[in-house]
A and B are shown apart, each in its own frame.
Chain A
Amino acid sequence: MANATYDVVIVGAGIVGAACANEFARRDMRVAVVDREVVGSGATGAGMGHIVVMDDSEAQFALTRYSQKLWQVLRNELSADVEYDQCGTIWVAADEEEMGEVTRKHDFYGDRGVATEILDAKRLKQSEPNLRDGLQGGLFVPEDAVLYPPCAARFLMHRAEQHGAKVILGASVSTLGQRRVLLSDGLQLTADIIVNAAGAWSAELTPGIDVKKRKGHLVITDRYPGFLRHQLVELGYLKSAHSVATDSVAFNVQPRRTGQILIGSSRQFGAEHKEADQAMIVRMLQRAQEYMPCVGQLSAIRMWTGFRAATPDKLPLIGPWPGDKSVFLATGHEGLGITTSLATARILVDQITGTKPEIPIEPYLPSRASKEHAHV
């Protein structure tokens, strides 16, 4: 392979890189994607794979909802192995305080056109019989979905390739910037637009961006069709996992199309080794059994870890990097990269092609970070 020139070079073949590749390529731009591994091998392959609306902030809601709608449009075109399944999310309330959060969430979503349903204790138990007794209720979000992320990324990448994108796998990027992407084998790719979509590793390629690795653990069980019907998330999540400073676990389970159950979740800063942390696994699985005691009897066949790309304000970085005119960022999606990949790609391409985006993009611009730093 020789040195080559493209309109766009995307670094990272995760779901965000794949979505961007597809979005650029279908506008007839010459696109190359580079990844040191295979398509969907980073956080995309390690994560759960949900398409969810979130309400941590207005900006987070806007991005997740916009992207969810894009997934709904794409849904019928997805290949079967993407396993898109609109199973819905139930936010589980353990106590009165959390039931108050159910009402707040219900109103928040309702005001913004997302239908949800408040479940009392009885309805919750009917919806998910394997939950323990004594829970207060929950909020059912019927449009939420799950999918199998590596195949979703591969689907998007195939589309990009059909539009002429070149996918270069097994190639490490040593530097990027100044209209150049230099690979460790010496090959150089030139492009006016370089997109850093390297997720948890993006800060190594563009020093100065505030993206940190946030480690997560997951466990998957053998097949138990019907054991779990919806994605379940505890509302204690709000008290634990969203606190940025400490290690935390939260009850989050997801049914796979195969009948397997994915059990999460954990969040850790400062743990950079790939091996599972025994203490986190223990805490995470004990939390799951607090909500669903019979999970303990299921056969666990694998566990693994992955690294989310986390930003201080929990919003992704989408747009031009102020430090280099040729560098654009599409990273920092933390646990929502699968959901927001499609919207990320749209917003980025809108910015570059001068199209008016469908949602306000200011909250996601990388330039916001430098402004915040000025305050600190």
Chain B
Amino acid sequence: MPQSFDILVIGGGPAGIAAAIRAAESGANTGIVDDNAALGGQIWRRARTESVAEPAAEWHQRLQTTNVSVLCGTRVFDQPEPGLLLAERHNDILQLAYQKLVLATGARERFLPFPGWTLPNVMGAGGLQAMVKAGLPIRDKRVIVAGTGPLLLAVAAYLRSHGAEIPIICEQASWGKLARFGLTLLADRQKTTQARQLKRDLAGVPFAANAWPVAAHGHTAVQSLTIMRNGRSEEIACDYVASGFHLVPNTELAALLGCQIRGGFVHVDHLQRTSLPNVFCAGEPTSIGGLELSLIEGEIAGLAASDRVPEAQRLVADRKKWARFARRLDRTFSLRNELRGLASPDTIVCRCEDVPHSRLREHGSWRAAKLHTRCGMGPCQGRICGPATEFLFRWSPDSVRPPVFPVRVSSLSAERTGQPEHTKHEEANR
């Protein structure tokens, strides 16, 4: 029997939490689904020992006072018919029926292949942070943080606060771009405060712009990283490399549903409405704009989905401000051309299927590369190598097919039974 919701939110990060709260306030039967064990998303993920930091605490508290059904450990993998999603949860398969849907599926790190990037202990910046939160001991470990984007600084500060030594932070963006970005931050007090805090947390940590990883070295695990810095290469010893090249939006579910995707992002209007009726989208899938934009978009989506358009419209001006910040992020941390040349012929690009750069170079399209090398055909379904090859070869991604995540064969073959519960409910009301 399907579980049925007036408003269903997919994704339990800031955008999803904000959407669910605003939707539920109006009395709508609201649910929020997330594939992690707890809500919070990547940014509000916390270790068991940590207390919830502001502003996450405030939002978590608000969520608890509203009547939202929380479904964690639940991963949506298909929409067999409009208004009905299928999800896996532990050993169960769930049918989730909705009247309105808010997609808040967040973003993931972008990885770019360089020689040695597949060595053990070379990780995504956010990935390493998540592992430390899950208990990986990092005290006195030397961690080089390299790549691009504001996440690098946040991760470096976090790791340092947990006892890691950060020999250097390498940011591929130029000083010029960073300076312009920094100046624009001064206009906003909140961001300025955050930046000051980061500066204190990272006092004494060398920061290099115009710098990027060139090759990781080691036998059983990484032992050093060669970086390019101001046109010169240097090798630095380390125990870990935390490397990420900004974020790419998780648009797979939106694409599966048939939402219009423009320039890689889910296209929405000022009320977060996608091209599909009754489907809204908020947060990073619409643009990479950070926490504040995600929260506002989530609120707008939750309000609009519960038919409180005037209230939603009052937030639109604020959204515009943070959308400008998103565009600045995009400009500042756009990838430099040199990064296209990092991989050597034998550098693995698709980790799932062990496909090296040399085999991909022969192909003219993502479709041909997939067919003839199996690039992107492994368990990650191209989530890692897709954005990489999009940048390296300028290939455009394929259409999305179900299942959007790997699922048990038995889940794919589970028969759907029964009518959604709300149908009965409506009948009883008549």
Contacts and interface: CB of A to CB of B under 8 A. Distances in A.
B409 A302 contact: no
B406 A300 contact: yes
B372 A300 contact: no
Interface stretch (B296-304, B376-384, B418-426): B376-384
A301 B406 contact: yes
A51 interface: no
Interface stretch (B29-37, B55-63, B199-207, B363-371): B363-371
B127 interface: no
Please name the 10 residue pairs, one residue from A and one from B, whose CB atoms are nearest each other, closest first. A285-B413, A296-B410, A38-B368, A150-B371, A301-B406, A299-B406, A278-B80, A300-B409, A286-B413, A45-B371
Given A154-B372, A282-B412, 4 more contacts: A81-B373, A222-B378, A300-B412, A302-B377
B409 A221 contact: yes
B409 A298 contact: yes
A149 to B, nearest CB: 9
Contacts of B338: none
A297 interface: yes
B430 interface: no
Interface in B219-273: none
A151 B377 CA distance: 15
A376 B160 CA distance: 82
B407 A40 contact: no
A288 interface: yes
Contacts of B406: 222, 299-301
A299 B372 contact: no
A295 interface: yes
Contacts of B402: 276, 303
B365 A38 contact: yes
B367 A281 contact: no
Contacts of A303: 401-403, 412
Interface residues of A, number: 35
Could you say which of B80, B368, B413 has the most chain A C-beta atoms within 10 Å of its C-beta?
B413
A296 B371 contact: no
Given A276-B401, A296-B408, A282 B413 contact: yes
A300 B371 contact: no
B415 interface: yes
Given A45-B371, A222-B406, A276-B402, A296 B413 contact: yes
Interface in B350-390: 353, 364-365, 367-368, 371-374, 377-379, 381
Given A41-B367, A278-B80, A301 B378 contact: yes
Interface residues of B, number: 27
Contacts of B365: 38
Contacts of A222: 378-379, 406
Contacts of B408: 296-300
A218 to B, nearest CB: 12
Of residues B364, B406, B412, which shows the largest number of chain A Cβ atoms within 10 Å of its Cβ? B412
- The B interface is mostly helix, strand or loop, or mixed, namely loop
B377 A285 contact: no
A296 B367 CA distance: 29
B409 A288 contact: yes
A336 B408 CA distance: 29
A289 interface: yes
A154 B374 CA distance: 13
A304 interface: yes
Contacts of B414: 282
Interface in A229-271: 258, 263
A219 interface: yes
A222 B402 CA distance: 15
A310 B51 CA distance: 64
A37 interface: yes
12 contacts: A38-B364, A38-B372, A81-B373, A150-B371, A154-B372, A169-B364, A219-B409, A258-B374, A276-B401, A285-B413, A288-B409, A299-B407
A369 B105 CA distance: 54
Contacts of A295: 409
A40 B371 contact: yes
Nearest to A220: B377
Interface in B187-205: none
B407 A300 contact: yes
A136 to B, nearest CB: 25
A281 B409 CA distance: 10
B283 to A, nearest CB: 26
A249 to B, nearest CB: 11
A304 B401 contact: yes
Nearest to B80: A278
Contact of B379 (A39, A150, A299): A299
Given A222-B379, A302-B381, A302-B401, A150 B413 contact: no
A338 to B, nearest CB: 14
Nearest to A298: B409
B372 A40 contact: yes
A38 B369 CA distance: 10
A301 B412 contact: no
B81 to A, nearest CB: 8
Most buried by B among A40, A150, A297, A301: A301
B413 to A, nearest CB: 3
Contacts of A258: 353, 374
B364 to A, nearest CB: 8
Interface in A123-172: 150-151, 154, 169
Contacts of A282: 412-415
A81 B377 CA distance: 15
Interface string B313-353: 00000000000000000000000000000000000000001
Contacts of A281: 412-413
B317 to A, nearest CB: 41
A284 B381 CA distance: 22
A285 B407 CA distance: 13
A282 B410 CA distance: 9
